[in-house]
Amino acid sequence: MTTTLKTFQGDMRDALVARFKNLKTQYDAVARLQGSAEKLTKLRLAKGAVMLQAPTGVGKTLIAVDTVQSFSADEKVIWFWFVPFVGLVGQAQRTFQAEAPAVKLLSLESDRFTESLRPGGVYALSWQAVATSQARRILRETRDDGLSVDDLILQARELGYRIGCVVDEAHHGLQKAHEASTFFSAILKPDYALLMTATPRDEDAVKFSQKTGYKLGNPDDWATITRDQGVAAGLLKEGVKTVRFIARSGNESKMLDFERIALSQAASMHRRVKQELDALEVGITPLLLVQVPNGGESVDDVEKVLVNELGFAAAAVHKHTSDEPDENLAAVANDPTAEVLIFKMAIAMGFDAPRAFTLAALRGVRDREFGTQVVGRIMRVHRLLQGREYVPDLLQHGYVFLANQEDQEGLRSAADLINALRAQEPQLGQQAILTLEVGAHSSEMTLVSTQGEEQTVLRTVTNTSDAQAPGITPAQVETPTLSDVSAEVLETARNLVAQLQGRGQLDLLNTTPAAPAAPGPASLPAATAPTLADAIAASGITKKRYPRKQEAPQTLKTELLPSMPDNFEAQVAGLVDFTRVLGDRDRTGTQLTQRTEELFTEDESPADESILAQLSPSVIAARAKQVALPFDDLDEREFLRRLEERFRAALVRQGIALPEDDEVIRRQLDLVLVRNPKLVREAHKRVRAALVKVRDVSLPDAIIEPAGLPRSARNVYGVFPPGLNKDEREFANLLDTDPEVLWWHRNPSDKPGSIALWAWSGGMTGFYPDFVVAVEGRSHSDGQALVEVKGEFLQEWEKAKAGANGQYHGRSFMVGKRGDDGNFYFLRLENHQLELDGLYESQRLKTNI
């Protein structure tokens, strides 16, 4: 029994048929002209393709089937109906058998003979059948079992057939596969092409035109059906609600298995839906969809949770592990004994699931196209619910439970895209009728535009070969040649090199000449890529020895981190104090906010509900290992053994009975560690900090640097060293002109003679302050202070260094600029915030506070 089209579906069918009939009239008229082949090609590329954009579930396929059947009554045409996956070919054929039984279904396996062709006949196939290397070896070659597809199309045209084409999910196969677009434009060359998509994108239309030459026009020209039309007709649910989960703190969120929570809550909603359907006595078993990442292991893991923890019968849980939809998937979607379908991200499109109300998305939905397909799976209204006077509100919505609350951009983008669609039928455009009159001495051709009942003479010519329909010839766009672009790039590069040479900004630190560029028009000539040796020779720069001044010290003090002692694990475990946190060992649950939001409307406030979620033992165990062992200087097995002993002893001291099961002890320990992530970190820091030692480090007798460095009055080597940034150079000038400064030294990073601080970070991170400054009157650390200069844009990023204290030097001072006054200020770390601590003056360096 065929389906009666809804009003909006019938209107769209009629508009599409009228569009193709209009085009047929133009084809027939142009075919009578001289040089018609070229003109027909131009007309086909300009007018032959139309895009139908509509949300999943409004009946695009049904409209297209009826369009094919209706238009074929007026045109001798063979149709090629493309589906995105091989497994959906049978589904398309069954749709024709049910909705258009008079249409002759043809098979590429057995009907590749001209004798098999029938007007209005349809080949249902996938792009893989004709646009792959295997297809070129089989269906694209003429053999004993039939003509090649290429020859079949050519001979069909010779027999007077025109070629029609319907592309389902056009954004998928045709847009993404190069061979598919090549087959479409070079072999198939359809006279009538209907492209359908639920995920329209302007850029797809541009790419389609670039690849095939067919014009689709602007989105305003596309045939469009809206979600509101589908809702009003009872084909789509009123809305889709997203459900996400918000933890009270970031630490608790790390202890939760949000995939398990989303799956559990989705199962609960599924059962509520099932109760409502049972009350209506409509005979519908709802289907819970579970979308998992691509990969077999995740599918099996989810199945175990559904059966072992959530109580679904094993026979009711079905899996689809293929990367494409197939006949089995379609069967499961319509099998009333199947309550759950687990499927991969790769097949979010291409299968109908009218029983589906609830979907658990166990991975993020970032992509708009994927979001549109996901929403489409649960938007449909089941046939048995269509037209009912009363349907409970719960059943008028679909529900998407998100395991990752942050990754829902794809759903939001999909909703915006669907909401943006505006109902529109395809435009007929102008119908061009061409007539030819032959007189005694000359011939004359007239091109007439017919729009409604009005006729306008557009062009009259006496040379029939000169006539062509206006607007058919595509505009020629001049594109710069590669040689033009290369020459421009080359000239720009040459100018840049000249500017750098003029400003003396060649990289003198690069002692290795750059490898020669690959030959080509855009390569710089060797003469424009000077090496360091060339630059030095051209500028007269030479190296010079700068000796250390006599008044400068021969040695400075640095902190050294020695190797770890043999009992390092015991020392760290011994400093972990469990006494005050033992109460956390049984806190296995936590409160979450379950937020439900309507996807398609923004004026409805979110609905929040507090739920109790159980912490995941597996997540806690993995997290506990990260918390307890983020350090590579601890032996994992030995430290965990020591830590468990310490935990047991703490329980006994507090009079708490030890569980008999060792696994319970370990789970309790894991929970305490995860809820108190600083326990081990602080103990580890204290032990390592205590191991840091102070030793002497020698200042080099001299430094070897380029000749001609600016002279300095107080630097230990008598010059301003190279490599200072703008702020560092300004600060060095302050030091050099300050009578309170006895000498100053630029402290290099991570060199044999560098001053390092380790204790401040618990021995985890070495810190090399920029300057060592000897100040008259400083009684601490042999009169030497450490100063770190930070540019304003780096101050917040490295604020922890403002709180650094050295075992020998005491406080390390951080200075930097703030605002536009150009002054340096002391910066101090207070309550994890970087605060101004007064204008810089060397007097402050005499203190240690």
Cα separation, 324 vs 87, whole angstroms: 7
Handedness of CA 171, 177, 183, 185 (dihedral sign): positive
pLDDT at 509 over 60: no
Cα separation, 17 vs 1, whole angstroms: 23
Question: Strands 784-789 and 317-320, how do they pair?
Answer: unpaired
At residue 774, the pLDDT reads: 96
Lowest mean pLDDT among 161-175, 401-415, 754-768: 401-415
DSSP H or E run through 444: strand 443-451
Cα separation, 449 vs 321, whole angstroms: 56
Q: What is the DSSP letter of 113?
A: S
Cα separation, 149 vs 172, whole angstroms: 22
In this structure, the dihedral spanned by the alpha carbons of residues 621, 624, 625 and 627, taken in order and rounded to 10 degrees, is 160
Q: What are 718-728's pLDDT values in tens digits? A: 999 999 999 99
Lowest mean pLDDT among 34-48, 198-212, 230-244, 618-632: 198-212
Number of H helices, E strands in the chain: 25, 29
- Of the pLDDT bands very low, low, confident and very high (cuts 50, 70, 90), residue 133 is low
Amino acid identity of residue 379, one-letter, is M
Q: What are 573-598's pLDDT values in tens digits? A: 999 999 999 999 988 888 899 999 88
At residue 323, the pLDDT reads: 61
Q: Name which of 412, 380, 364 is nearest 262 in CA terms.
A: 364
Cα separation, 631 vs 766, whole angstroms: 15
At residue 296, the pLDDT reads: 61
Return the ∠ at Cα 563 (arms to 562 and 569), rounded to 5°: 120
pLDDT at 451 over 60: no
- Quick check: 786 and 559 in contact, CB under 8 A? no
Q: What is the DSSP letter of 131?
A: S
Q: What are 249-294's pLDDT values in tens digits? A: 766 777 788 888 999 999 999 999 999 999 999 999 999 999 887 6
pLDDT at 546 over 50: yes
- Of the pLDDT bands very low, low, confident and very high (cuts 50, 70, 90), residue 188 is very high
Return the ∠ at Cα 75 (arms to 113 and 222), rounded to 5°: 110
pLDDT at 231 over 80: yes
At residue 1, the pLDDT reads: 67
pLDDT at 159 over 70: yes
- Of the pLDDT bands very low, low, confident and very high (cuts 50, 70, 90), residue 172 is low
Percentage of the residues of the chain whose pLDDT score is greater than 90: 48
